[in-house]
């Protein structure tokens, strides 16, 4: 009798978790998959209307090699208004100052702010110095190891920020470059899945994060929330905590034009990737309570879906019902991911979804709780 009751409880939990997953995938994530993309307004803008001037800001610490490689692509941006590239050298100990001087000699739009001593964890202090020193009221962030798709990245992000008067924040996409190996495939999937999540929540009127590799905002919104003062002691969160504090259902937009993508290289080892994720997870504990509740329930329902499916299969419970529940959810994922991956240039990942989705559940069930419970301060470089 007790065994039957236990199995019945497991069944109810399994089907409840699966239904909660289906609710998120059809009610939230499908918004992005079937999102009606805005027409390209760059060519529709009236000739007598100029876009606003922009400050592109990059923080760099010991990034001499990446600056040599990627700064030319940033400086080559074609934009129909004034703009500056403001680079904050966060107390680098390599050849970064020398590299920046070489670029400055040939590119007058490049301005450098030098921070002599590293006194704060992470890069928030350096980034805040850059934002407050920027000449213009519109800000676009990226990282020293990032490469825009082409010369119209700034133009597309600026147009998205200037599309509506109430828009103060625009979330861009920063995919990983495609290379060989399972780590790269996993990292590209996890990056696309995260983007699907924050883009979809934004379209649902609940923006909660963005990524600093491709993020635009008005300087006024940064000042309104007090900059990074409330979480300056947390090494990470220079991007998602700013969005979490400032974003509303009306002031946040998205930019998913492929010409506005910013690519970066994936970590070369699993240890490096996990260290990066541990740093990112350190900021999520300070999200708004509603966001933490929704994200936790989403992760937990995914873990329970697979864990309880495994237990029920071992118990010999009704295989056909379990297969139907699994198949319905997986069919939903394939439909939604197909639309999302076509927008996020990850169509080749679709065939790997059944495997990568299981890995995501393992990551949520083991790595995420471990790092949240046993978190340690992680310094930036």
Nearest residue to 115 (alpha-carbon basis) of 84, 86, 85 = 86
Asked whether residue 62 is assigned to any structural domain, the reply reads: yes
pLDDT of res. 368? 75
The two structure tokens encoding residue 86: 């403001």
Looking at residue 40, its pLDDT comes to 47
| Pair 96, 64: CB distance under 8 Å | yes
Q: What is the pLDDT of residues 276-316, one digit of tens each?
A: 777 767 667 678 899 989 999 999 999 999 999 999 999 98
Domain-embedded: residue 132: yes
pTM flag (> 0.75): yes
Q: What is the pLDDT of residues 341-380, one digit of tens each?
A: 999 999 999 999 999 999 999 999 987 777 666 655 555 5
Is the CB of residue 117 less than 8 Å from the CB of residue 129? Answer: no
Which domain range does residue 85 map to? 54-269
Q: Cα separation of 297 and 69, whole Å?
A: 41
Buried b (16+ CB within 10 A) or exposed e, 177-188: eeeeeebbbbbb
Q: Does 325 map to a domain? A: no
Query: Tokens 């939990």 belong to which residue?
Result: 13
* Residue at 72 is within a domain: yes
| More confident call, 381 vs 70 | 70
Neighbours of 110 (CB within 10 A): 18
144: domain CATH number?
Answer: 3.90.550.10
Give per-residue pLDDT as tens, 78-132.
Answer: 999 999 999 999 989 999 999 999 999 999 999 999 998 877 777 888 899 999 9
* Residue 3: predicted pLDDT: 59
| Coil vs helix vs strand at 16 | helix
SS (H, E, C) 59-75: EECCCHHHHHHHHHHHH
Tens digits of residue pLDDT in 318-334: 999 999 999 999 999 99
C-beta atoms surrounding 48 within 10 Å: 5
Domains: count for the chain: 1
Domain presence at residue 303: no
Residue 54 Cα distances to 65, 85, 125, 154, angstroms: 26, 9, 21, 9
- The span from the CA of 142 to the CA of 145, in Å, is 9
What pLDDT is stored for residue 49 in this prediction?
A: 65
In a domain, 163, yes or no: yes
pLDDT at 41: 52
* Strand intervals (E) in 161-219: 169-171, 215-218
- Cα angle 313, 317, 320 (rounded to 5 degrees) comes to 85
pLDDT of residue 202: 97
Flag whether pLDDT at 70 surpasses 50: yes
pLDDT tens for each residue of 157-215: 999 999 899 999 999 999 999 998 999 999 999 999 999 999 999 999 999 999 999 99
Can you give the pLDDT at residue 118? Answer: 79
pLDDT at site 1: 46
- The radius of gyration of the chain from alpha carbons, rounded to an integer in Å, stands at 22
Q: What is the structure's pLDDT at 376?
A: 55
- Residues 6 or more apart in contact with residue 335 via CB below 8 angstroms: 33
- Are 74 and 85 in contact, with CB atoms under 8 Å apart? yes
Q: β-pairing, 169-171 with 215-218?
A: antiparallel
Backbone dihedral angles phi then psi of residue 177, each to the nearest 5 degrees:
-65, 150
70 assigned to some structural domain:
yes
Q: What is the pLDDT of residues 24-64, one digit of tens each?
A: 999 999 999 998 754 445 444 444 467 899 999 999 999 99
Tell me, yes or no, whether 251 lies in a domain: yes
3-state secondary structure of 372: helix
């Amino acid at each position: 009798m007790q065994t039957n009751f236990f199995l019945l409880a497991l069944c109810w939990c399994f089907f409840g978790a699966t239904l909660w997953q289906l609710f998120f995938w059809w009610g939230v994530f499908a918004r992005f998959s079937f999102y009606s993309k805005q027409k390209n307004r760059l060519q529709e803008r009236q000739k007598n209307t100029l876009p606003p001037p922009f400050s592109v800001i990059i923080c760099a610490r010991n990034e001499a090699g990446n600056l040599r490689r990627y700064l030319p692509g940033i400086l080559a941006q074609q934009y129909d208004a004034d703009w500056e590239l403001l680079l904050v050298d966060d107390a680098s100990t390599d050849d970064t100052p020398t590299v920046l001087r070489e670029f400055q000699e040939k590119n007058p739009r490049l301005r450098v702010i030098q921070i002599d001593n590293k006194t704060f964890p992470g890069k928030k202090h350096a980034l805040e110095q850059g934002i407050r020193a920027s000449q213009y009221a519109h800000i676009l962030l990226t990282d020293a190891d990032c490469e825009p798709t082409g010369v119209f990245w700034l133009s597309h992000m600026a147009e998205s920020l200037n599309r509506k008067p109430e828009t103060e924040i625009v979330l861009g996409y920063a995919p990983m470059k495609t290379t060989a190996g399972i780590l790269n495939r996993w990292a590209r999937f996890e990056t696309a899945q995260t983007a699907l999540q924050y883009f979809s929540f934004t379209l649902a009127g609940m923006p909660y994060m963005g990524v600093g590799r491709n993020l635009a905002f008005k300087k006024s919104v940064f000042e309104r929330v007090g900059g990074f003062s409330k979480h300056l002691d947390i090494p990470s969160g220079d991007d998602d905590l700013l969005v979490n504090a400032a974003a509303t259902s009306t002031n946040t937009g998205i930019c998913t034009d492929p010409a506005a993508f910013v690519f970066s290289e994936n970590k070369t080892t699993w240890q490096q990737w996990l260290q990066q994720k541990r740093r990112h997870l350190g900021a999520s504990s300070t999200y708004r309570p509603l966001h933490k509740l929704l994200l936790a329930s989403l992760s937990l329902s995914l873990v329970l879906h697979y864990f309880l499916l495994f237990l029920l299969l071992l118990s010999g419970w009704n295989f056909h019902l379990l297969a139907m529940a699994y198949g319905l959810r997986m069919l939903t994922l394939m439909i939604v991911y197909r639309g999302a991956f076509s927008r996020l240039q990850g169509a080749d990942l679709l065939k790997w979804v059944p495997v990568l989705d299981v890995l995501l559940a393992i990551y949520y069930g083991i790595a995420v709780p471990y790092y949240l419970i046993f978190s340690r301060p992680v310094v930036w470089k």
